[in-house]
Amino acid sequence: MLRRTLLASALAIPALSACVSAGGAADPMAPLPLDTSSHARPDEARVRHVSLDLTADFDRKVFHGKATLDISARPDAREIVLDSDGLVIRAVRAGGREAQYELGSRDEKLGSALVIQLNGARQIEIEYESAPNASALQWLEPAQTASNKRFLFSQGQAIHNRTWIPTQDSPGIRQTYDARIVVPADLKAVMSAEMLTRDGEPAGEGQRAFRFRMPQPIPPYLIAIGIGDLVHRDVGPRTGVYAEPSVVERGAYECADMERMMDVAEALYGPYRWGRYDVLILPPSFPYGGMENPRLTFLTPTFLAGDRSLVSLVAHELAHSWSGNLVTNAVWADGWLNEGFTSYIEGRIGEALFGAEHARMAEALSWSDIQTALGSVPADGQRLHWVGEVDANENSSAITYDKGALFLRTVEGIVSRQRLDTYLRSYFDRYAFQPMTTQGFLVDFRAHVVLGDAALEARLMLDQWAYEPGIPSNAVQPQASGFVAVEQAVAAFNAGGAPTEAWANWNTMQRQRFLQTLPRQLPAARLEALERAYGLNAIGNMEVRFDWFALAIPNGYEPAGSAVQRFLSEQGRGKFVRPIYRALMDQGAWGQALARRTHEATRGAYHPIVQTAVDRIVTG
Ligand SMILES: [Zn+2]
């Protein structure tokens, strides 16, 4: 049975499939669902192309220059509404003439609406500069980088790009872009676009300019820039690594499988449509594991384990070249269309490269993450399609990623892998470079796969998956035989035995599973035995070290203290930093003292996004 009430509320969103013309090209003014994370009114006027001419001023920590926007508008449109946050607007022109504009009052989450009178023009120019505390940008001092030179990187997702680009910052409003970026002559600029000037060109005293072009329309959160002492190494014919000189060889080694990953993804989901695929390895303060900026994935250096054991991160970001970058959630409430699909595809790439058992272990870990989330996330937050108040920047939980992937694996188990693969291939073809909603996806899936088969419809439970909390009853818990030995080792340890010697031959997932399934309460002597056996305080694999701290801290295991402090100082990845600070603050006097001491010393090095989150945890 379908849940009528939920379906009815979802139908308030226009079905995007109806907006596509017969030739497959999107109507430039096709209706879009209301995006509560943007001030834009795209049904009146919308940005089609962004042209940036900016100078990176490292001394003042600002970009200054000009953005020229090409727009489409209804014939009677009088104004266009852009998103901006903290931008200082110097001048605005419409059609070459001075234009009236108004910068609205600042909303804490959304920033300010920038309303510009069009006077019939379809091109506007904005002279402006960003604020030194722009949340999309982190200006690093030489001491924070491997090469001891200055570095800048941007992070647009979800709604941060409005702090350095005045445009309509809504994922449904796709925009092409080009850019000319002036940087200090000893640094190199890279962007999520085709690079037109590999080594830059002269641009005045002590400066170089780099030019870029992104001809495919992208959601504006994918406009991204990195500036630093960067060199490039090829990994394959279409793939390569940008990094600081002392990091690039390690990066190229870790990413050796990238070209094979692309071949696998293309065989499943159709051609890679973005030209080259490079990754940029960032300094340790990068707040995320990876960011799927088109043509140029941004990666945390914490994936450099030295043994390619954390390369699934690259598979994930590459998979976004289809789910997310090619077909994009129209609003952040449908973030699972980006992340759930991508987590599913990441698993398929991993299975093709490393085998079925590898994939089952990843699925079993993901299942555990969902169970943990169901125990802590309120029911409202357990739906794939979010309802109610949505904070676009809080779009990262085991629900969006893992429940989304579990949904697709459940569908695969019911309709068959071949049928789902055929469907997804056509889905990416038919909706390439277009936004998508949960409701639009379900309409399309029913039209192409369910085909009115009532028995199949009942088995799939599509609406329960999309619109209800929890996990529907048709989900199948994954079984990984590689975890049987782990369970036995946990049982033996719990019976008082020594830590298993099998650890030496285990892969990362088995080691994580072992640490995650040990009892949460252990006496110091047992923790001591684990640390002595495996050297956990200093283990190179950051995921494993994190799982160790997640066990050691709640037990008040003080010999881990200085290692925890080092961990929080040497990288600023939110996925690691936030839960560690939370565990320390929950632990008691020892943990809280350690958290406050470390926070005091390291908060300045974190990215603004992580800094804000950690401030909230530590100072309440
Ligand atoms: Zn992702």
CA of 338 to the centre of ligand 1 (A): 7
Domain end, chosen from 467, 502, 535, is at: 467
pLDDT tens digits, one per residue of 482-533: 999 999 999 999 999 999 999 999 999 999 999 999 999 999 999 999 999 9
CA of 287 to the centre of ligand 1 (A): 13
459 and 333, same domain (yes or no): yes
For 497, other C-beta atoms within 10 Å of its C-beta total: 11
Which of 131, 129, 137 has its CA nearest to residue 156? 137
Q: Is residue 542 part of a domain?
A: yes
502 and 583, same domain (yes or no): yes
The pTM of the full predicted model, rounded to 2 decimals, is 0.94
CA of 219 to the centre of ligand 1 (A): 15
Task: Name the residue with higher pLDDT: 112 or 381.
Answer: 112
CA of 400 to the centre of ligand 1 (A): 10
User: What domain range includes position 361?
Assistant: 327-467
Q: Is residue 340 part of a domain?
A: yes
415 and 517, same domain (yes or no): no
CA of 342 to the centre of ligand 1 (A): 6
> Using only C-alpha atoms, what is the Rg of the chain?
24
Q: Is residue 188 part of a domain?
A: no
pLDDT band at 18 (very low <50, low <70, confident <90, very high): very low
CA of 291 to the centre of ligand 1 (A): 7
CA of 318 to the centre of ligand 1 (A): 9
pLDDT band at 253 (very low <50, low <70, confident <90, very high): very high
CA of 22 to the centre of ligand 1 (A): 31
Q: Is residue 415 part of a domain?
A: yes
Q: Which residues of 549-583 are buried (b: 16+ CB within 10 A; e: fewer)?
A: bbbbbbbebeebbebbbebbeebbbbbbbbebbbb
CA of 314 to the centre of ligand 1 (A): 10
Q: What pLDDT is recorded for position 21?
A: 37
Q: What pLDDT is recorded for position 27?
A: 83
CA of 145 to the centre of ligand 1 (A): 25
Q: What pLDDT is recorded for position 379?
A: 86
When the pLDDT of each residue in the chain is averaged and rounded to a whole number, the result is: 93
**What percent of the chain clears pLDDT 70, i.e. is strictly above it?**
95
* Out of 169-178, 260-269, 567-576, least confident range: 567-576
Domain of 346, CATH number, reads 1.10.390.10
513 and 453, same domain (yes or no): no
pLDDT band at 451 (very low <50, low <70, confident <90, very high): very high
For 172, other C-beta atoms within 10 Å of its C-beta total: 26
Q: Which residues of 262-284 are buried (b: 16+ CB within 10 A; e: fewer)?
A: bbbbeebbbebebeebbbbbbbb
Give the number of domains in the chain.
2
415 and 382, same domain (yes or no): yes
Q: Is residue 301 part of a domain?
A: no
For 139, other C-beta atoms within 10 Å of its C-beta total: 20
Domain end, chosen from 437, 467, 497, is at: 467
Question: What integer is the mean pLDDT of 243-254?
Answer: 97
CA of 6 to the centre of ligand 1 (A): 27
444 and 382, same domain (yes or no): yes
For residue 15, is pLDDT > 50? no
Among all residues, which ones are annotated catalytic?
317, 401
CA of 345 to the centre of ligand 1 (A): 11
Domain end, chosen from 434, 467, 500, is at: 467
d(CA 241, CA 443): 40
Q: Are strands 175-184 and 79-84 parallel, antiparallel or unpaired?
A: unpaired
516 and 389, same domain (yes or no): no
Q: Are 425 and 192 spatial neighbours (Cβ–Cβ below 8 Å)?
A: no
CA of 180 to the centre of ligand 1 (A): 28
Domain of 501, CATH number, reads 1.25.40.320
Q: Is residue 50 part of a domain?
A: no
Which of 87, 82, 47, 83 has its CA nearest to residue 64? 87
Quickly list H helices, 291-448. Answer: 312-319, 336-354, 356-376, 404-415, 417-430, 438-445
Residue 262 carries which side chain, given as an amino acid letter? M
CA of 157 to the centre of ligand 1 (A): 10
Q: Are 118 and 152 spatial neighbours (Cβ–Cβ below 8 Å)?
A: no
d(CA 448, CA 158): 31
Q: What pLDDT is recorded for position 5?
A: 29
pLDDT band at 14 (very low <50, low <70, confident <90, very high): very low
Q: Is residue 441 part of a domain?
A: yes
493 and 449, same domain (yes or no): no
Q: What is the DSSP string of 37-86?
A: T----TTTEEEEEEEEEEEEETTTTEEEEEEEEEEEE-TT--EEEEEESS
354 and 432, same domain (yes or no): yes
Tokens of 340: 């759930």
Q: Is residue 1 part of a domain?
A: no
CA of 315 to the centre of ligand 1 (A): 10
The enclosing H or E element of 290 equals strand 290-291
387 and 518, same domain (yes or no): no
